[in-house]
Amino acid sequence: MSVVTQQTALDAIWEKVEAGERLNLEDGLTLMESDDLLQLGELADAARRVRGGTDEVFFVQNLYLNQTNVCRVKCKFCAFAVTQKQADAYTFTPEQLVEDALAQREGTGFTEIHMVGGESPHVDFGYYVDIVSKLHEAMPDVHLKLFTASEIHHMTTLSGLTHEQVLVELRDAGLGSLPGGGAEVFADRVRRLVAPGKEHPDFWFHTHRTAHGLGIPTHCTMLYGHVETYEERVDHLLRLRGLQDETGGFLAFIPLAFHPENTVFERRGWTHTAGSDDLKMMAVSRLLLDNVPNVKAYWIMMGMPLAAVALHFGANDVQGTVVREEIFHAAGATTETEQKIEELVHFVGEAGRIPVQRDTLYNELRRWE
């Protein structure tokens, strides 16, 4: 596409944004193929404001836990999973997880626990229910954001229950919401290459649709920067937008840049995504996901300086304090594993935004004008 033609196409998208019109697949490809990064940021920030966005930027005080790193699936992008026979394998009991969380809470006062892990074939469904019920009993005021859609699907295999039955039992035990992991990229071609042992993406949608119908809010993600094309990225976003049209159950979208270290992709020459690609992905996500209110700049992958820049590319959330993240650090993330509230407030303020501490459901807890 020539520079003049591309600019004409971007001008047409600008007109759509100002008019509040929905962007389509062709618009998404135009945005992904554009080299004018600053204009993409300007478009995304304009779209955020047209749709009611303000200068507020949110974060949550949260704790990350992983119940096990033992996993039956050997996703080629994963550096976290092990088999039970490996020396570094672990599976924590519900009691150990509660003890750990209580000890951490004395120092941080988190309002959310974010927990995901491997799909171990060596536990049963009762193990997961016990985790939820014991954490909820010990900390009834802490929101439990636990288990990806893939893990929920694994629980149906372990138990013989339907997705709805599994989610009802977990909800009744104290589950508050689901994270968005396990989505990767929905295109069948991509899944066959990067996660051939994982269930079909239709199960991801079925799990989230079912959760929304049960009153369980969820999050959505995309893991980009491996083998997917621009068209497959845009298709992924439009599929998410379609489910949000149907249910309205997504709280936020989180674009996740692929980290290749300690994976098969590193041996094949893959490197980390460029910061420019991360900012482009942020902007396009905001522009296409017109019905998802919050887009997160996940500092654990981007680093806080780039996450602060992303606040001018459509992001309005920097995730949280993220005490002890392990999965992306296993794949080479070099950021800190925790950010103090004061540091988050500083970066957000320096970006010209208003820091707002929230709970998981985006209720305001504290703000810094």
11 found inside a domain: no
228 found inside a domain: yes
Report the alpha-carbon angle 297-145-206, nearest 5.
90
pLDDT tens, position by position, for the chain (369 residues)? Answer: 556 577 888 999 999 999 999 999 999 999 999 999 999 999 999 999 999 999 999 999 999 999 999 988 776 556 666 778 888 899 999 999 999 999 988 888 899 999 999 999 999 999 999 999 999 999 999 999 999 999 999 999 999 999 999 999 999 999 999 999 989 999 999 988 888 878 899 999 999 999 999 999 999 999 999 889 999 999 999 999 999 999 999 999 999 988 656 555 545 555 567 889 999 999 999 999 999 999 999 988 888 899 999 999 999 999 888 665 444 434 333 444 456 888 889 999 999 999 999 999 999 999 998
Question: CA-to-CA distance for 159 and 121, rounded, in angstroms?
Answer: 11
29 found inside a domain: no
**β-strand partners of 113:** 63, 144
180 found inside a domain: yes
Taking the model in full, what pTM does it have?
0.91
Number of helical H runs and strand E runs in the chain: 16, 10
- In total, how many domains does the chain have? 1
68 found inside a domain: yes
138 found inside a domain: yes
Write down the pLDDT at residue 215. Answer: 98
12 found inside a domain: no
Question: CA-to-CA distance for 211 and 224, rounded, in angstroms?
Answer: 25
Question: CA-to-CA distance for 366 and 34, rounded, in angstroms?
Answer: 38
Residues with Cβ within 8 Å of 32's Cβ and at least 6 positions away in sequence, in order, are 230, 233, 234, 280, 284
251 found inside a domain: yes
What CATH number is associated with residue 246? Answer: 3.20.20.70
Question: CA-to-CA distance for 365 and 74, rounded, in angstroms?
Answer: 40
Taking residue 269's Cβ as centre, other Cβ atoms within 10 Å add up to 7
Write down the pLDDT at residue 340. Answer: 81
- Decide: helix, strand or coil at residue 82: strand
Residues in the chain: 369
Domain span holding position 107: 54-367
Ramachandran quadrant class, 138 (left: phi over 0; alpha: psi -120 to 50; beta: rest): alpha
